[in-house]
Structure 1
Amino acid sequence: MVSDKGGRAGFVYKTRQSVYRALRRKGMPKSRAARISNAGLFRPGRVRMARKGARTRQRRGR
């Protein structure tokens, strides 16, 4: 589990640890997984990510 201590230990909010671990299981680098999971701490961030993902999938024809 990534620390929520910050600094050299890295930082991911406690409530977003499960998201971080899921992204890591998919093979994502630590820094990128942390950035994505922290971005979704509040609802507007999650909505923005969902819309971006939908646009990407639509553009790729999925």
Structure 2
Amino acid sequence: MVSARGGRWGFVYPSRQDVYRALRRDGASKSKAARISNAGRSFSARSRMARKAARTRRRRGQ
């Protein structure tokens, strides 16, 4: 299990630890992986982030 201790040891929600591990495998730093995985804790939060990312990609012409 990834850290659920918090504080100086970091924290990742238990339901999002598979995402954290995948990001770490892809080379993200511990802090970046934790920040990304914790950000989309709920389905609605992940959907909101996905829509925002799609808008950003569209604006940048990708």
- CA RMSD of the aligned region, Å? 1.6
Read off the aligned partner of 2:21 and give its amino acid letter: R
1-structure distance, mates of 2:19, 2:35: 11
SS of the residue 1:27 aligns to: coil
Q: TM-score, structure 1 length as denominator?
A: 0.80
Structure 2 unmatched ranges of 5 or more: none
The 8 Å contact of residues 11 and 34 in structure 1, kept in 2 or not, is answered as yes
Q: How does 1:1-62 map to 2 (within 5 A)?
A: 1-59=1-59, 61-62=61-62
Structure 1 residue 44, shift from structure 2 partner? 2.1
Deviation at 1:58, TM superposition (A): 3.4
The amino acid that maps onto 2:44 is P
Q: 1:42 deviation in Å?
A: 1.1
TM-score normalised to the size of structure 2?
Answer: 0.80
